[in-house]
Amino acid sequence: MKRHQIATMLAALGVVVGVMIGCRAKPDDAAGQAEELADPVRRENAIANLNRLYTSALAAVDGDRSVETQPENSDGRRPLGPMGVANASVEALSTTYVNNSSDTANGQRILNLLLEMQDVRAMPAFIAALDWRTEVTENHAITAAQAVERMELNDAQQAQAITALSEALDRVQGNRGVDNRMRIHFIRALGSLNNHAATPILTKVATRIHEDQSFLINRMAGEEVGRLRDPAAVPDMIKALFLFSAERPDMRMNDVGAQSLTQIGRPALDPLLELLAGDNEQANRIAENYIAAIRRRDEDAANRMDPRGVVIGEACFSLGQLGFREAMDPMYAQVQPMLDMTAAALDEDMDANRETIGRALSCVTSLVQINREESDTPRLREALIGVYERMPEGFPPEAPGASRAQLLAAMQHTFDPGLLDFLHRVAADRDQLPDFRVVGLKSYAFLANRGDLPRIRAVIAAEPEGGVVRNAFEENNPALTTAEECNDSLSCYIGKLGDSDPMVVRKACYMIARYGHGNAEAITALIGILDHNNIPVRGDAFYALDGIATSGSPEAVAEIDRIREAEEGRSSWNQVREVAMAVRARLAARTGN
């Protein structure tokens, strides 16, 4: 080839290359990058550029996804905001994902970006991703579920998402790690929609007992059922009170069932009363199965149980959490047989009277949680004292004395100053076991005002200095000093919630519960310490808040949700989870939210 021909050819080639380069979109051109998604060769680079543009724009406007254009920069240009980038690319990203199912690597990158955008125009991609393929696109489905959880969807979009999530969940039949991750995110997404159409899907998972499904998944689904507050879920959540892991009968979901029923509210009342009356045959059968499972592992433990007692215990607990006064008489009816007996008769044949004692204990401690009126308090006080005085010291045999300690703790949470005489008697009685005396004195210290102090200080002074009981008694001195200072001043106790001594803060919680019913300042102050770094303080704050927020508190519900999201899985949350979620449900039910 002659030299001039070669030169001509190279020149022509240069023109072609130049044209090709010129046709490529600039890296900062969102619309141009969106067009390049259709090209398999340029797709990965286009996704990366769009991701860079979007995240940079989001950071520049402090996370406000609604901004279309950013403020003018130094060269006079106004770069696109997050919404501007999304407007230029979201539909192209979604279409590219749907039309290129074999390009799984870029598909995941697209979904990650769409997840960040949280734009409902990407729903076609998310719905397609939920149609997952085994060993190929499970993580695509997880990302899609995360997106559904974060977005605000209209009714039609919710219906579409519920159908897709339901079908995706039904197809999870294994027990691989990714199977459980899919279950978790599908369940969370269904609950986040706050749509009753998700109820039958979630209750199906919550009540499904199968070797391929971890029982923790049952519990999680039950919690999401509670968020929906759907009366249609009541029968399944009553069933959940008695469900247990086939592998570990000690792993149950009675707390989750009770929490969900409490969130559902009044529609759960009559079915729970029927349960208490023994009219729920399904529950009776499951209780029998539960005892049979226990028997396979521990014959002695099973021999100490009977199905009716299990049912009554769960019914009373759930009714107490629910909190409606209409449950009081049926619950007291379970306590009365024990009150009709003498302490000597109960003690003489403790085994024969085990069920009478157990039912009374379950129901009287649950009665403490009922939203009672002031006129109800004397009856509760008499029942608590009556059961305590008849309770054999050795009950239950597997943990002697635990039942009396449980009763003293329940008395403490009544916030009833009418119990001070009895608590003084327990603390002063040297014939009592030291553990009971110590709990009795602590309960007295938490409930006492200035005028109540002389006699309890006399009890402390009567103990030999340096002795175990004296030392335990004196641990309550900060609470007594606080009572001396604040007496009956609610504002003084509110001020003590910021004290560095946890015992002072706990004392303040109890006195706020005694004096602060319906007080907005007190409610706000208690909400402020729900995430206290001392676990006993947290527990007392929850109980006190439940006691004084008689009309509910949306602010408290929101704060409990915040704490749960921030701490779920940590010990700090696990130790207060049951009381926190019960209080949350009760406060939400009182406000009708």
pLDDT, one tens digit per residue, over 369-389 is 998 888 999 999 999 999 999
- At 397, is the pLDDT very low, low, confident or very high (cuts 50, 70, 90)? confident
The predicted structure's pLDDT at residue 2 = 53
CA 548, chain centre distance (Å): 21
The fold for domain 489-593 equals: Leucine-rich Repeat Variant (1.25.10)
Cis before 200 (ω within 30): no
Q: Between the CA of residue 452 and those of 215, 419, 446, 476, what are the distances in Å?
A: 49, 12, 11, 14
pLDDT surpasses 60 at 514: yes
Q: Which bin fits 229, alpha (ψ -120 to 50), beta or left (φ > 0)?
A: left
- State the helix-helix crossing angle for 254-264 and 215-228, rounded to 10 degrees: 10
Question: Which of 6-15, 208-217, 404-413 is least confident?
Answer: 6-15
pLDDT tens digits, 424-464: 999 999 988 899 999 999 999 999 999 999 999 999 999 99
Task: State residue 5's pLDDT score.
Answer: 52
* Cβ-proximal residues to 585 (8 Å cutoff; 6+ apart), any chain: 226, 259, 262, 263, 321
pLDDT band at 20 (very low <50, low <70, confident <90, very high): very low
Amino acid identity of residue 341, one-letter, is M
Give the pLDDT mean for 21-48: 90
Quick one: pLDDT at residue 73? 80
pLDDT category of residue 592 using cuts at 50, 70 and 90: low
The amino acid occupying position 82 is: P
Rounded mean pLDDT of the chain? 91
Instruction: Give me the residue spans of the domains in the chain.
Output: 489-593
Check residue 16 and give its pLDDT: 42
DSSP per residue, 403-460 = HHHHHHHHHHTTT-GGGHHHHHHHHH-TTS-HHHHHHHHHHHHHH--GGGHHHHHHHH
- CA-wise closest residue to 518 among 541, 543, 551: 551
* pLDDT for 210: 87
Closest CA to 184 of 138, 228, 243: 138
- On the 0-12 / 13-18 / 19+ scale of CB atoms within 10 A, 157 is middle
Residue count of the chain? 593
Percent of the chain with pLDDT over 90: 73
- pLDDT category at 304 given cuts 50, 70, 90 is confident
Return the pLDDT at 10. 44
pLDDT value for 98:
97
Nearest to 413 by CA among 448, 371, 366, 368: 368
Lowest mean pLDDT segment, chosen from 19-23, 222-226, 518-522? 19-23
Q: Looking at the whole model, is its pTM more than 0.95? A: no
Q: What is the mean pLDDT of residues 511-520?
A: 95
pLDDT at 540: 96
pLDDT in the model for residue 18: 44
Measured N-to-C along each axis, helices 377-390 and 402-412 cross at an angle, to the nearest 10 degrees, of 160
Give the residue-averaged pLDDT of 106-115: 97
Select, from the ranges 62-76, 84-98, 292-306, 401-415, the one with the highest average predicted confidence (pLDDT). 84-98
pLDDT band at 15 (very low <50, low <70, confident <90, very high): very low
164-175: average pLDDT: 94
Among candidates 384, 386, 385, 406, which has minimal Cα distance to 395?
406
Residue predicted with more confidence, 16 or 3: 3
According to DSSP, residue 533 is labeled S
pLDDT at 1: 52
Output the pLDDT for position 263: 87
Lowest average pLDDT, out of 147-156, 287-296, 477-486, goes to 287-296
Answer yes or no: is pLDDT of 562 > 90: yes
Angle between helix 477-486 and helix 453-461 axes, rounded to 10 deg = 160
Kindly tell me if the per-residue pLDDT of 11 is higher than 70.
no
- Residue 23 has a pLDDT of 65
Q: Is 322 exposed, middle or buried (0-12, 13-18, 19+ CB in 10 A)?
A: buried
How many separate helices (H) and strands (E) can be counted in the chain? Answer: 34, 0
